[in-house]
A and B are shown apart, each in its own frame.
Chain A
């Protein structure tokens, strides 16, 4: 059967064009070049994956959608599934594939699949500069003739080829070439295609996705076909599978690979050399078992300095104590008390648990500087290509926790802000890994706000106390991690990650991303803080807060061996553990805690859930069931560890 798509050279005006490509091929740079500043980044409906949309600058009424990078297609990860959704659900006028000129085979494997979709397709062969530096020469005219689509060589970071690209998009033809699959599959396709519903992409491409057992296509068809028809499709696929033997997706993939090998072989004039450049030498060092660790230490220290010291220390101090503490808040309190006649409403807005004095002050003075510096640092690491190298170096450590090296990122970020780190668990492959890391973050990774208070207290006791605290927390981290990895069903995923070339991050790209992420933070996280403040206010006003403090006293005095005043601090710890820690700090400075009591109290509060915002984040990213389950485990467990430590220290007679 000949290819389903027809040759047509239309001119495109108005509509949506999807940008599709592998990760790290410069998709977002091309997107930025084509759209300028008019960009909106939002979560794709029903998912937590970010998708950017923007109106094209030099193309009439055309909206560009920047899809997440795909490694495999049909999709395997959440990100890739979003790309599949965009292709199946959006009324696309054309597809713009961004490909890596120096890895032609890989690029073309995706091109073939996109071309089958029958939509006008333009291939931007990007990173011609990197290809040139490595001596790779590609005959783009030959590619154009063989595949029958527009192939434009570009170097997006320098803006080269962008005008050609815009012109090509306007007059893009639907590709014309036919890729023949094995006879049995072709026969099946001929029979199947007329039975499929109308889709934005060609029915042949839809049928091939269905044969490859793509879950997104399966759901899509299930929604549009009568149950009996869908069942019929399913049975026919099973039948074909039985008659062929090898997995259908593997057979289809092989046919594509063979075709790509032919095309790529003919179009590659020079395969390139392996003469190492300076960047390659540096790249070698970053994954080296010895030198890599030194570089890692340097990177982590800079990250800690920028986010932990500069963001969480200097900036927070300026904003919280200076700007909010002595300027804004007294002013707000003054005017509220004058303008609002009801004390109850006054309290709700500017009282000790007020929406403004607690909610907004936390959100803007404490957390905003931390997330801003963090987003900036993260953007630089992302764009420089260092992140996957971090995964390579730490893979061994995370193996014992049933994870792979990719988990290092959320864990390190957790030392900055656990709530943000919970969000970045998205980079992990399986649900199981995301759950494991979320648990460890919530339990045993102290965030920078808390770390500051804890370190201050421990420094006042003794070095020995610091060692005990660190030892217990690490023991819990690895103990619980080891155990959870064995209890949570599912298998560990071995590390498989691409190491993109090290590059200088582009300032404009990093800034745009940071701004877009900050917008997300303001829209979605700030309400959580306000909700938390309202909750505390309600507890306080209804007298539940006082009652809870009273009720928890036996636990605090009996089991943990702490003075009764500590229960108020722990209750605050339910809301934010650094507040709990601050409460303990005040008690210690008043001489209410001896050294053993102080260490027990600090260990317990460190193991608490970070803050109410992180609970909300867990509920949002995982589910409410998970969030409640984690709280039900973490709070008793933290108290258990604290009590055991208390008894151990007393039994050993240590006075620290």
Chain B
């Protein structure tokens, strides 16, 4: 597994959580998901270790935008709209062949054409994107048909 970095919510120090697991001497250290910031000692959670925290992060969009901003474009190597993390931008490349011509024309008439930059707002409950100044909600099976690059 490649090292990933987290930001201390207290002082803003960026560090590798694997190298700074909390208190080795603590009796309940095993399974403990807390990590200590090397700069200020603040105990925080490594989001990659806790399912619940990741889920909460996804549900509450604000934190997921921060997360994705941190994760940056590095983690984003998907090829369709559903792979674009919320808060990121992507450029439309084309549509998969499975998309009916009618639906394709529908998407195009909203301005979703090759070369256009779109901004993904959220994926749950459905995918919401911004094209120019227009917001569009589309179900994931449709979003999957739209091919994009980062």
Contacts and interface: CB of A to CB of B under 8 A. Distances in A.
A104 B108 CA distance: 14
Interface string B123-148: 01110101111111111011000000
B103 interface: yes
A388 B126 CA distance: 12
B105 A72 contact: yes
B126 A73 contact: no
What DSSP secondary structure best describes chain A's contact surface?
mixed
B25 interface: no
Nearest to B109: A72
B100 to A, nearest CB: 10
A392 B126 contact: yes
B105 A253 contact: yes
Interface string B17-61: 000000000000000000000000000000000000000000111
Contact of B125 (A102, A109, A395): A395
A209 to B, nearest CB: 13
B139 A136 contact: no
Given A283-B135, A388-B137, A106 B110 contact: yes
A494 interface: yes
Interface string B109-127: 1110101100101101110
B133 A102 contact: yes
A316 interface: no
Contacts of B108: 253, 257
A72 B137 contact: no
B105 A250 contact: yes
Given A261-B115, A284-B121, A290-B59, A76 B106 contact: yes
A40 interface: no
Interface residues of B, number: 36
A404 B105 contact: no
Contact of A287 (B131, B137, B138): B137
Contact of B104 (A106, A250, A404): A250
A287 B141 contact: no
A138 to B, nearest CB: 11
Contacts of A271: 132
A499 B136 contact: yes
Nearest to B129: A499
A18 to B, nearest CB: 19
Contacts of B133: 100, 102-103, 130-131, 134, 136, 272
Given A71-B106, A106-B132, A494-B139, A261 B125 contact: no
Contacts, number: 114
A105 B125 CA distance: 28
A257 B125 contact: no
A102 B136 contact: no
A392 B106 contact: no
B125 A289 contact: yes
Interface in A362-387: none
Contact of A72 (B106, B124, B126, B138): B106
Interface string A111-153: 0000000000000000000110010100000000000000000
Among B102, B110, B135, B142: residue with most chain A CB under 10 A: B135
Nearest to A71: B109
A498 B130 contact: no
A434 B135 CA distance: 26
Contacts of B141: 494
A261 B113 contact: yes
A274 B101 CA distance: 31
B107 interface: yes
B134 A498 contact: yes
A246 B124 CA distance: 35
Interface of B: 59-61, 101-111, 113, 115-116, 119, 121-122, 124-126, 128, 130-139, 141-142
> Closest 7 interchain pairs by CB?
A102-B133, A499-B135, A494-B139, A495-B139, A72-B109, A106-B111, A392-B137
23 contacts: A71-B106, A76-B102, A103-B132, A103-B134, A106-B111, A106-B132, A109-B111, A134-B133, A272-B132, A284-B61, A287-B137, A288-B61, A289-B122, A391-B137, A392-B137, A404-B139, A494-B142, A495-B138, A495-B142, A496-B107, A497-B138, A499-B128, A499-B136
